[in-house]
Amino acid sequence: MAKINPEFTKELKSYGAFDVNACYNCGNCTAVCSLSDEENSFPRKMIRLSVLGLEEDIQMSLDPWLCYYCGECSTTCPRQAEPGELMMSLRRWLISKYDWTGLSGLLYKSFTASLTAFIILATGVLWFAAYQGFNPEKLLHYGHYFEMIAIAFVFAFILLPDIIRMWWFTFSKEHSKIPLSAYTKAIGDLFVHMFTQKRTLGCDDSQVRWFEHLILVFGYLLLLFTTVFLDWFGTNNTFVIALGYIESAIIFVVTFIFVLSRVKKEKEVSKHSHPSDWFFVIWLFLMGFTAFFVRLFIDINILNTNIWLYVLHLIVLVQWALLIVPFGKWTHFLYRSFAMYFIRVKSLNTK
């Protein structure tokens, strides 16, 4: 027996812009959705659970991760209830539920909190740079050092526990019932979805979006690898340097397109932008852009006289690594692929 909680929609509204109460259960959204199927039927079911405030049911559902936001449901909705945006908001809400620190929820719900966090980190970096006397060599050294530490820390203490929590919620009552073999058999799905996002292609007319997103993911992962493990800013290897240029250029060009479409609001997917969406695309753009020019300044040998650029890059990097990656939109990269993985595990088990 589940208890109805009408307050829930109020809370949910701080995670996104939509009018879920307008829904009169016609089900058009689910009918037009090209990704919804009999086993995982959405978004109507999710809207209903949201209206009734059945948090537990939403928390254990993976449906929000199965939606890739083509926006067909929102354009078809006869009551402008914005089901697509609801699914987006539920993903944000789920992220904050998975996050054991509770910081995700705070940053999603409060723009002021987000801004404060960004400012604190920026001040910290500035203070540290000043403390180091704006010495380029030292800053580059610590910057590189920070990257490695941050990745290890964020992964071990934030992302890993959060994924375990996601698993715990998802399999709420069947943790012990699923044999280990199901997990190992399905592992392929995790990586296929993580690196191809092929489910996006299930949405209508999504080929371009999928391709842009795909090269962005690869550009990002490779740049991460290039800077952290091949020490892009420190290397003399022409191939590595060229690789880094290409990767960072891909990042800022593609994110520029994304930012532009969010400004234009022509497509359903880019009509509604939560602050977390802006932070994500803009910071990714800034990352690529500043990295590109930092390397360029190194190559034309003017970085020493323009150390501000590296300080700027470092600020963006720190904010990205300590806010957006662990508590922001970046996590969808993991949760989407783990959702597909968990669904495969479930279906293997039921078979």
Partner 1 sequence: MKKKIGVYICHCGGNISDYVDVEQVRKAVENEPGVFLAKTTMFACADSNQKEMVEDIAAQHLDGVVVASCSPKLHLITFRAVTERAGLNKYNYVHANIREQVSWAHSDNKPGATEKAIRIVKSAIAKVNRSESLEPVKVSATKAVAVIGAGVAGMRAAIELAEAGSEVYLIEREHFVGGRVAQFDDLCVSTETGKTLVTRLYDEVMKHKHVTLFTGAEVIETSGSVGNFNLKVKVVPRYIELRCKEHQLQDAIDVCPVQVPDEFNFNITMRKAIYHNYPSEYPQLPAIDIKNCTRCGECEKVCENINFDQKTEYLNLKVGSILLATGFDPYEPKRGEFGYGEIENVVTLPQFKRIMHYSKDKLMYRGKQIKHIAYIYCVGSRQVDGENKYCSRYCCTATIHSAVTAKNKFKDIYNYHFNRGIRTYGKQEVLYDESSRKGDIYLQSFEDAPPVVEKKGDKTIVKITDILTNNKELEVEADLVVLVTGMVPRKENSIAGLLKVPKGRDNFFNEIHMKLRPVETVIDGITIAGASQGPKNIMESMNSALSAATKSFSIVNAGELALEPTVAKIDKENCEWCGKCDEACPYSAFTKIEYNGKFIAEVNETICKGCGMCLPVCDTNAIELIGFTDKEVESMIDALV
- Which value, to the nearest 10 degrees, does the dihedral of the CA atoms of residues 83, 88, 91, 92 take? -130
In angstroms, the CA 151 to CA 254 distance is 24
Phi, psi dihedrals of residue 65, rounded to the nearest 5°: -80, -15
Q: Token pair 């715990």 is at which residue? A: 168
Between 136-153 and 307-319, two packed helices, what is the crossing angle to 10 degrees? 10
8 A C-beta contact, residue 271 and residue 71 = yes
* Binding piece for partner 1, criterion CB under 8 A, among 22-30, 136-144, 162-170, 202-210: 22-30
Which of 9/235 has CB closer to partner 1?
9
Q: Does 324 bind partner 1 (CB under 8 A)?
A: no
3-state secondary structure 37-102: CCCCCCCHHHHHHHHHCCHHHHHCCCHHHHCCCCCHHHHHCCCCCCHHHHHHHHHHHHHHHHCCCC
SS3 assignment, position 296: helix
**At its nearest, how many Å lie between partner 1 and the CB of residue 12?**
12
Applying CB under 8 A, which of residues 1, 180, 208, 300 lies at the interface with partner 1? 1
Q: Does 88 bind partner 1 (CB under 8 A)?
A: no
Which of 74/331 has CB closer to partner 1?
74
8 A C-beta contact, residue 90 and residue 82 = no
Considering Cα of 50, then 54, then 56, then 57, what sign does the dihedral take? negative
Q: Does 51 bind partner 1 (CB under 8 A)?
A: yes
SS3 assignment, position 26: coil
Which of 44/336 has CB closer to partner 1?
44
Applying CB under 8 A, which of residues 11, 19, 55, 212 lies at the interface with partner 1? 19
Q: Does 49 bind partner 1 (CB under 8 A)?
A: yes
Q: Does 22 bind partner 1 (CB under 8 A)?
A: yes
**At its nearest, how many Å lie between partner 1 and the CB of residue 39?**
13
Which of 13/213 has CB closer to partner 1?
13
Q: Does 4 bind partner 1 (CB under 8 A)?
A: yes
Q: Does 186 bind partner 1 (CB under 8 A)?
A: no
* Binding piece for partner 1, criterion CB under 8 A, among 46-54, 124-132, 203-211, 230-238: 46-54
Residues in contact with partner 1 by the rule CB under 8 A: 1-4, 6, 9, 19, 21-25, 45, 48-49, 51-52, 54, 79
